[in-house]
Amino acid sequence: MVDLFIVGAGPAGANLARLAGERHQVLLLDQRDLRGENPLNRKTKCCGGLLAPDAQKILGEMGLGIPRDVLVDPQLFAVRTLDVSSGEEALYQRHYYNLDREKFDRWLVSLLPPSVKTCFNAVYLSHEAIPGGFIVRYRQKGELKEVKTRLLIGADGAFSKVRRTLALPQNPSSYVCIQEEYPAEDLPPYFTAIFDLAVTDFYGWIIPKDNHLLLGLAVPQGKDPWEAMEKLRSRLALKGIFLQKKIRTEGAHLLRPQKNSQFSPGKDGVLLVGEASGAISPSSAEGISYALRTSLLLAKALEEGIPGVLSRYAKSLFPLRRNLLGKRLKSPFMYQPRLRKAVMASGLLAMKPFHSPLLWPCPR
């Protein structure tokens, strides 16, 4: 029997395994091939790969610095906010690290202590309670396996299968995220946030990555994401932004919590971290900082042992709940068209670009 069976080796799961692995027996599972064991398995995480200041702060608190080969060009110091509906544009200062998300996850896995057992190219199937813990069943390379564990940890993202087994009373609003990659020679020197109520009540984005651009969009569950993406491309073309010769498309589920009751640390010996718990910014959908923070707090709660860990973990999450509340209070100024237009038109906190109106590529 292991102490912790962690489903998902993203920032939440890998960080928890790293921090708890010295004190507890840990088995970390992920469907991706994060150590090169199966070159044919090319599952990737659909993510813009921008590391926000909150995430940078937590990495600093844990004594970690990101290796150079995880970063991609260009590094970004601004976000261009484009309100397609009203025609307003503004530039705001931001301090993001521009990352290769797959390399970032692989780097976190490389930090695991030797005592942590990993199980990649594997899929969690189910679990059942037994005295003192659970039996967890999973499939690896076509073979059915099972293991006993004292605690089961869901770190498996927005569409968390572990969370769904708990039948929690409140579930956050679910969105479908689509992201397309295009070749590009001239890269914008900023991250672009796109607001257009005719396409989605959330937002879209353009992110430069080396010699490519990522075009992404989050739409509510139930709305046709392909139709919405096609409409977004056509609306951007009217703004002079043309994206051609698409290389690939990827997708994922995304949560957008609307109330604190939709955030859950888990129950009955099953604990949740990262987006599986509902910890994600409802205003920007930034999730890496919350993945790192929840996993850090759970690791601290585990330092006193397994008995009573859920209670200690839940208590430690109060500051994070306040943070999520603050993000929700910020949301109307971003997503209510009249408020957004008023804020952007006021120029409050906006940068004054050297080139006006904003052009891409910038003239030399």
Spatial distance between the Cα atoms of 6 and 162, rounded to a whole number of angstroms: 10
Spatial distance between the Cα atoms of 250 and 50, rounded to a whole number of angstroms: 17
Angle at 335 between CA 338 and CA 213, to 5 degrees: 120
Which residue, 145, 120, 105, is CA-closest to 18? 105
Convert the pLDDT of each residue in 20-35 to its tens digit: 999 999 999 999 999 8
Give 168's DSSP letter: -
Convert the pLDDT of each residue in 208-246 to its tens digit: 999 999 999 999 999 999 999 999 999 999 888 889 899
Would you place residue 85 in the very low, low, confident or very high pLDDT band (cuts 50, 70, 90)? confident
pLDDT the model gives residue 240: 83
For residue 144, CA distances in Å to 124, 138, 147, 149, 154 come to 10, 6, 11, 17, 20
Spatial distance between the Cα atoms of 25 and 4, rounded to a whole number of angstroms: 6
pLDDT the model gives residue 139: 97
pLDDT at 62 over 80: yes
- Element spanning 91, H or E: strand 89-98
pLDDT the model gives residue 363: 39
- Element spanning 50, H or E: strand 50-51
pLDDT at 72 over 80: yes
pLDDT at 152 over 90: yes
Spatial distance between the Cα atoms of 259 and 138, rounded to a whole number of angstroms: 33
Would you place residue 37 in the very low, low, confident or very high pLDDT band (cuts 50, 70, 90)? low
Convert the pLDDT of each residue in 262-300 to its tens digit: 899 999 999 999 999 999 999 999 999 999 999 999 999
Which residue, 24, 21, 40, is CA-closest to 32? 40
pLDDT the model gives residue 239: 82
Would you place residue 8 in the very low, low, confident or very high pLDDT band (cuts 50, 70, 90)? very high
Convert the pLDDT of each residue in 286-344 to its tens digit: 999 999 999 999 999 999 999 999 999 999 999 999 999 999 999 999 999 999 999 99
Q: Is 31 helix (H, G, I), strand (E, B) or coil?
A: coil
354 CB-contact burial (10 Å; exposed 0-12 / middle 13-18 / buried 19+):
exposed
Just give the CATH number of 2-346: 3.50.50.60
Spatial distance between the Cα atoms of 27 and 118, rounded to a whole number of angstroms: 6
Looking at every residue in the chain, the average pLDDT score rounds to 92
Would you place residue 364 in the very low, low, confident or very high pLDDT band (cuts 50, 70, 90)? very low
Would you place residue 43 in the very low, low, confident or very high pLDDT band (cuts 50, 70, 90)? low
Please report, for the chain, the start and end positions of each structural domain, with discontinuous segments joined by +.
2-346
Q: Which two tokens stand for residue 297?
A: 């707090």
Tracing tokens 């309100």 back to the chain, one arrives at 83
pTM for the whole structure? 0.93
Spatial distance between the Cα atoms of 89 and 80, rounded to a whole number of angstroms: 7
Q: Any idea how long the chain is?
A: 364
Count CB-CB contacts under 10 A for residue 237. Answer: 11
